[in-house]
A and B are shown apart, each in its own frame.
Chain A
Amino acid sequence: MTIQFKDESFRGDFSYANSPSNIPRFPFPFPEDEYMYSTNIEPHHAARAGSPFENAFDVDEHYVAEMKDRALVLAEDPGRCQALPHMETAGWDFVELVMVSKARDYPDLFKLTMDGDRWHWINKPLQIDDTFTFGDSSTLPCHPMEYIGRQVQGDHAILDQRDGNLWLDAGIITAQADWSLDFDVGMNFFEWHAPVPLAHELGVFQRALKFLLTLPQGQPSRRLNWTLTVNPRLDTSPENYPKWGPDRMTVTPENIGEKVHLRVELQTFWRLPRSNAILFPIRTYLMAMNEVVTQPKWARRIHRVMRDLRPELVEYKGLSRYHPILVEWLSQFDDGAPTSPGIFPD
């Protein structure tokens, strides 16, 4: 299987789009016709050939374009990549995990040769061919987390574990759904989750933290999270709010199908071996509503979910402005027929 990487943009003319064959493999986030927060964590096992759950780190047709967008963000704002001094070992754990996984899962795209600590890494899609000494940051052009973070889709946070909590002590975050690394760096699990409504009362975070603190090595987990974004923009950071906030005013019943995108985060959790830290990849998938509704099951279900979404979530996710128009527009695709369980299209 060779992947045809697309030349496309996530800003300016927004030429990003999914190929027809890429649509059915989208990680649709609603297993049922209604949605509420829950501790929705499951083992990150290889599942369903062709799905984004098949490999440890999914590579798709947007890989090269996403990495270009990341480079643009980092050039403008180096603060999107930060690591406290004690997080260097964790950075190397991250390098190892990504290189070993990608070389194993996509041997036609990535190649890793290890001769003791002397590693040779070839990343064909990005035309990288580097040799370095594992564990010695002076042999890389930058911090190990930044080096590998520029070569893997999705944002990455690294959590240090101590005092029975997790601490957001490092991250490379350029495609976030309205939260700021600069603001959250150094915070613990409860502190950075403070703005989330309802979930605290449900005990979601208490349970999730207990689970993560004992996450074993070699047994990663995953969960899906979602929001909506106007235009296929990856960088919806608070720092850049003036650039994307006003987009929400541009939504009309006529353009809603192409403007509003379902934004899904495939979040995975990995225990890192040498640092005992947790790696938290947040892989974002974007799909225009016009593309979502090509799958009849998804079209029916997303209408029902959006129609019945709790007002607190509409508000927190920043959908208030166009939520009623969206529900109205989606209703044309819902004939009331029952939907099958699970997230995959029929």
Chain B
Amino acid sequence: MSASDHLIPVVVSNVVEVNPIIKRFEFKHVNGDELPAFSGGAHIVVEMLDDGTKRKNPYSLMSSPFERDQYAISVRRDDTGRGGSKFMHEQVRPGMEMKISAPVNLFSLDLRAKKHLMIAGGIGITPFIAQMAQADKLGVPFELHYAARSVSQAAYMDSLADRFGDHVSCYCDDQGEGVDFETLLSSQPLGTHVYVCGPKGMIERVVETATHLGWPAAHVHFEHFLAPPVGEPFEVHLVKAGIDITVGAEQSLLEAVEASGTPINCMCRGGACGQCETAVVACDGEIMHNDHWLDEEQRASKQLIMPCVSRFRGKRLELDL
């Protein structure tokens, strides 16, 4: 079963233009019911009915986990994408009814931490806004280091600095500012956990620096806002369903399977949760593994694929679906 079988009907209660590239969307339950409780770092999957195409994108919840009457997400407009974020920016208006999944957390705070050190890049700020509300309420020390391209793109920088004062440090590339990861990570008290969400390069640098400084791997947490990469179209044979499907250039394998009406599990749609793991029955060609789930050995075996983000190039691919 997949999380998307249990969608929650919501109404868009507010749309706020935060800056030229980011909009905030607020949702309430259509019946006015309370929405499910969640923990900081959780995301929801938003279903978008875009002129006949059904899109499903994950977005981190940025509202306080202690607020149950509404959820808020912030979406960065990505004009090179397949249109999910564009749809949100251009089509979604207050009063519109939409469907969302229950919250899923693949980036939760480690509740044993003596201190939470949070590092955000760009739109990667969203999960931390909810986490800070949580850490604040639990009374656990935390510190946010938030970097953005430019002052005009630095969503919520001012309001966060107002709300959390000294806990927040801001850096803008266009002001020549940047986080000194080496100094930051080498000056933390024992028992600190570090969390990073942002561009791939930033996540890699934080993880590398922490590893180099001897941080235990269990104290280093990250989340990629991975979007399903596009590529060449390819054919797949679904063995149980007994059908052949074509995955379009701008479609993910998961989306193509769903469009064919074949049941498949999924949750994060971003290669992180493991739900969509599918057995490969036959593979004559190369699987482009784009997930964060399978290990090297599993990838090399060509026996498993994560259809939400991974693709195929070659003669024939048969899946156990």
Which residues of A are interface residues toward B (Cβ below 8 A)?
A: 43, 84-87, 89, 93, 96, 160-163, 210, 213-214, 216-219, 273-276
Contacts and interface: CB of A to CB of B under 8 A. Distances in A.
A255 B38 CA distance: 53
B97 interface: no
B127 interface: no
Nearest to B193: A162
A183 B101 CA distance: 38
A163 B274 CA distance: 14
A85 B1 CA distance: 34
B36 interface: yes
Nearest to B109: A276
Q: Point out which of A87, A210, A213, A214 has the most chain B C-beta atoms below 10 A from its C-beta.
A: A214
A163 B105 CA distance: 13
B111 A86 contact: yes
Contact of A163 (B1, B104, B218, B277): B218
Interface residues of B, number: 26
B112 interface: yes
Given A161-B108, A210-B274, A273 B267 contact: no
A216 B3 contact: yes
Interface in B265-316: 267, 273-275, 277
B104 A216 contact: yes
B306 to A, nearest CB: 12
A273 B111 contact: no
Interface in B114-149: 138
Contacts of B274: 210, 213-214
B104 A273 contact: no
B218 A273 contact: no
Contacts of A43: 1
14 contacts: A85-B112, A86-B111, A87-B111, A89-B111, A89-B138, A96-B37, A161-B108, A213-B274, A214-B267, A216-B101, A217-B36, A217-B104, A273-B38, A274-B65
Nearest to B217: A163
B36 A214 contact: no
B79 to A, nearest CB: 32
A216 B102 CA distance: 8
Contacts of B37: 93, 96, 273-274
A275 B102 contact: no
Contacts of A160: 111
Nearest to A93: B37
A219 B6 CA distance: 8
Nearest to A210: B274
A45 to B, nearest CB: 10
A273 B273 contact: no
Nearest to B103: A217
A276 B105 contact: yes
B36 A218 contact: yes
Contact of A214 (B38, B65, B275): B275
Given A216-B102, A218-B102, A275 B1 contact: no
B6 A218 contact: yes
A275 B102 CA distance: 15
Nearest to A213: B274
Q: Point out which of A162, A163, A219, A275 has the most chain B C-beta atoms below 10 A from its C-beta.
A: A162
Contacts of B47: none
A217 B102 CA distance: 7
B39 A274 contact: yes
B250 interface: no
Contact of B218 (A85, A86, A162, A210): A162
A216 B4 CA distance: 10
Contacts of A86: 111-112
Interface string B151-175: 0000000000000000000000000
Contacts of B3: 216, 219
A87 B138 CA distance: 12
Contacts of A274: 37-39, 65
Nearest to A42: B1
Nearest to B218: A163
A162 B110 contact: yes
For the complex of A and B, the 4 pairs showing the least CB-CB separation, nearest first, are: A273-B37, A86-B111, A276-B108, A163-B218
B303 to A, nearest CB: 13
Contacts of B1: 43, 219
B36 A273 contact: yes
A210 B274 CA distance: 7
